[in-house]
Amino acid sequence: MGVETAAAAAPLYRIEPPRGWLEVRLREVWEYRELLYFFVWRDVKIRYKQTVIGVAWVVLQPLLTMVVFTLFFGHLAKLPSQGLPYPVFYFAALVPWTYFSTALLSATSIVVENQRVITKVYFPRLILPMSAVLSGLVDFSIGFLILVGVTLGYGLRPGFAALYLPLLLLLAVATALGVGLWLSALNALYRDVRYVMPFLMQFWMLASPVAYPGNLVPQRWRWLYGLNPMTGVIEGFRWALTGHGQPPSALLLASAGMVLVVLVGGLLFFQRMEGTVADLV
Amino acid sequence: MSDVVIRTGQLSKRYRIGQREQPLQLREVLTRTLRSPLRLFRRAPQETFWALKDVNLEVRQGEVLGLIGRNGSGKTTLLKILSRITRPTSGWAEIHGHVGSLLEVGTGFHPDLTGRENTYLSGAILGMRKNEIDRKFDEIVAFAELEKFIDTPVKHYSSGMYVRLAFAVAAHLEPEILLVDEVLAVGDARFQKKCLGKMGDVARAGRTVVLVSHQLNQIRRLCHRAIWVDSGTLRQSGPAAEVVSAYEAAMTAGDRMSPARGNGAAQKARFVRWEIAEPQGSSPHTLQTLGPAKVRFLLEVHKPVCHAHHGIALYNAERQLMWGYGTDNLDLEAGLHEAIYEFPSLPLRPGMYSWLVTLWDESGAVDLWESVPDMLVATESYQHARDEWGGILNIPIALKIGACAEPNFAAVAPRDGSPA
């Protein structure tokens, strides 16, 4: 192959100082999709290699939480469950919630964890939080299969509502990514962000209808409650799988709008940070 | 159409001094902002320095360019900007072609993954496509000589095996432009040679290479052109041999403006140069013998020092301390002094080493000098052919194996120690 032809086809990169806020390079992420795939693949491989019980852990974690919730919130506290058997009621919430919290936590720490690579090679840094959010989907799929099994085991038959599930999952992914972009950028800039994370996750879980049905929240506060996108996701999951409970309302649209704002803001903030993070290490 | 593939204009990079030691606590930033909200919009006055200042550079297609200069002179910053790891503060650069950067050996390696998995991962991080790695995989493994261990997690590899695999992956990168920082200084001499050969092939294939190295002979051998970077600016550019010689001459003449040390006048004393005084070889910084050697350090004393302590340390390229020694109660008059160390042998495995020489008096450190240039040990190897069994010493042994002349020896001192 002639060197000239190679040079003619070669891309031109122009390197300049960072300018302003509005500079999102999403096309570049597409060019690096293979590396995104490899990051997801690495995450999944390592996760299943490091834990002795591997896949079992992914199954056990939400399953045991479900048992605890069923015992304490269900049978002891006798919280209402929208007519659903407690295990189904809790598990349908815990599967999306576990996905969301794992994805958000790993997105938050992924830039800091990969600082060594970041200072040695260029790639769009955006694919790091993206890979964190995507690799969580593997665990989610396993959890989801069990969820379907549990639902069917209790004699519940999902109807056409189940077609909403991919949309609801997309909303959860977008929320984890949007918030993850903010937090991973902040975490790279300020080392104490990780100390806030356990508190944040606990607070967020209480602010989502994981352990209780969302209709316990008084009507006049529902709009505020609906701004938490995970409310729509969790209530939507219960409804889409079983037909019981709250069907998605206008609140879900509000959630989606909220997520869009967080996501776009996160992209801008993250790319703003991207320029300096290699210098901070 | 010109064949320039890298062009920069007034490329500059400014760092804040102590950027690494910033508060970096969200808590502090928040409390500060709450106390005086306007401060957030005001730039705190900070000391800055230019790691790179107004660099204008052109690299042609197919050229192999060497960057030389002291530590902290801006070579690595330049490579980092060209590889888009960090962005310039001002100025611009234009690059025609895919860039591969090799700033570290084993970028992206994960200890829990196998050699095979790491080959794919590291290859992808360095910019290879999956089908490209598929195609080159067998070649990479053969180059690393790790056919048997490719499915073993790399945490079980010896450092030599690890480096070989990391290198093999990197050596098979085929971007149009390759940026390399100092990574050729690792591994055993034989493997280094193999990598240098591969680099030569890359250059001959018409690819453009920009190489940072402290091994000046490597620059001489591989590069067409060299640029001497000094305090963030390009001090000299031209044919590699010429620039390297000028740099070498300046370094040995005590041309040192390292920011870590004061300038000569304020200091009571300072080390100015070192050399291998005996035996004299092609270069005063290359050790080619395992026999006796004399190493000489020159010390300029400006004001007399009393009850001083002088220390010396020898490090290998991985910053492992090879040997150290100290002397107390030195009284030195003003003037030029020399310290001559006579070694019966320096049994070091071939590679790069550096000396650290120090002088302390009662008030503290007078001078700490990291030798420039490094010492290259280029001796014959008396080590196990397998890198992981070679060890750090290169002892010139003689070995005879034959019939035992004292047949009763085994009976006199049996191996289990029991009396015969």
For chain A, what are the domain ranges?
25-275
Give tens-digit pLDDT for B46-88: 677 888 999 999 999 888 899 998 777 888 889 999 998 888 9
| pLDDT attached to residue B38 | 58
Would you say B223 and B66 are in contact if contact means Cβ atoms under 8 Å apart? yes
A to B CB pairs, distance under 8 Å: 126
Q: How far does the CA of residue A121 sit from the closest CA of chain B (Å)?
A: 6
Would you say B102 and B184 are in contact if contact means Cβ atoms under 8 Å apart? no
| pLDDT attached to residue B183 | 64
Higher pLDDT, A239 or B408: A239
Same domain, residue pair B373 and B344: yes
| pLDDT attached to residue B21 | 45
Same domain, residue pair B192 and B261: no
Chain B's closest residue to A189, CA to CA, is B24
Q: How far does the CA of residue A28 sit from the closest CA of chain B (Å)?
A: 13
Assess whether pLDDT exceeds 50 at residue B20: no
CA B354, CA B174: separation in Å to the nearest integer?
33
* Strand-pair partners of B321: B315
Please list the pLDDT of chain A residue by residue as tens digits (281 residues). Answer: 333 444 446 778 888 877 655 566 778 888 899 999 999 999 888 888 766 666 777 788 888 888 888 888 888 888 888 888 888 999 999 999 999 999 999 999 999 889 888 888 899 999 999 999 999 999 899 999 999 998 999 888 877 788 889 999 999 999 999 999 999 999 988 878 888 999 999 999 999 988 888 888 888 887 788 889 998 899 889 888 888 766 777 778 888 888 999 999 999 889 888 877 777 64
Return the residue matching tokens 């009976």. Answer: B411
Return the SS3 of B287. strand
What's the whole-number average pLDDT of chain B?
81
Same domain, residue pair B390 and B276: yes
Give tens-digit pLDDT for B280-290: 877 788 888 88
**What is the β-pairing status of strands B375-377 and B286-287?**
parallel
Q: How confident is the model at residue B414 (pLDDT cuts 50, 70, 90)?
A: low
> What is the arrangement of strands in the sheet containing B48-60, beginning at the earlier edge strand?
A12-15, B90-96, B4-16, B48-60
Task: Give the closest residue to B224 by CA, choosing from B56, B66, B8.
Answer: B66
Encode burial over B23-41: b for 16+ CB neighbours within 10 A, e otherwise: eeebeebeeeeeeeeeeee
Same domain, residue pair B282 and B341: yes
CA B379, CA A66: separation in Å to the nearest integer?
67
| pLDDT attached to residue B173 | 83
Which residue among B188, B218, B252 closes a domain? B252
% of residues, chain B, pLDDT over 90? 25
Question: Mean pLDDT lowest for which of A160-174, B128-142, B250-264, B383-397?
Answer: B250-264
Q: Taking CB atoms and an 8 Å limit, are B103 and A189 in contact across chains?
A: no
Same domain, residue pair B272 and B139: no
Q: Residue B113: which CATH number?
A: 3.40.50.300
CA B64, CA B5: separation in Å to the nearest integer?
12
| pLDDT attached to residue A250 | 74
Sign of the torsion angle spanned by Cα atoms A68, A74, A77, A80 = positive
Lookup: tokens for A51 = 């834990």
Same domain, residue pair B403 and B266: yes
Which residue among B199, B222, B252 closes a domain? B252
Same domain, residue pair B342 and B239: no
| Stretch 133-172 of chain B: residues touching chain A, C-beta under 8 Å | none
- Tally of structural domains, chain B: 2
CA B377, CA B215: separation in Å to the nearest integer?
11
Which residue among B220, B235, B252 closes a domain? B252
CA A35, CA B126: separation in Å to the nearest integer?
9
Chain B's closest residue to A49, CA to CA, is B112
Nearest to B88 among A17, A35, A117 (CB): A17
ipTM of the complex: 0.84
Q: Taking CB atoms and an 8 Å limit, are A17 and B90 in contact across chains?
A: yes
Q: What is the DSSP letter of B348?
A: B
Question: Mean pLDDT lowest for which of A162-176, B140-154, B184-198, B210-224?
Answer: B184-198
Same domain, residue pair B39 and B137: yes
Assess whether pLDDT exceeds 50 at residue B146: yes
% of residues, chain B, pLDDT over 70? 84
Domain residue limits at B408: 256-420
CA B102, CA B198: separation in Å to the nearest integer?
14
Q: Which chain A residues are within 8 Å of B24, Cβ to Cβ?
A: 189-191, 280
| Stretch 176-215 of chain B: residues touching chain A, C-beta under 8 Å | 176, 206
Q: How far does the CA of residue A109 sit from the closest CA of chain B (Å)?
A: 15
Same domain, residue pair B304 and B189: no
One-letter identity of residue B29 = V
| Stretch 10-69 of chain B: residues touching chain A, C-beta under 8 Å | 15, 19-20, 22, 24-27, 29, 61-62
Same domain, residue pair B135 and B265: no
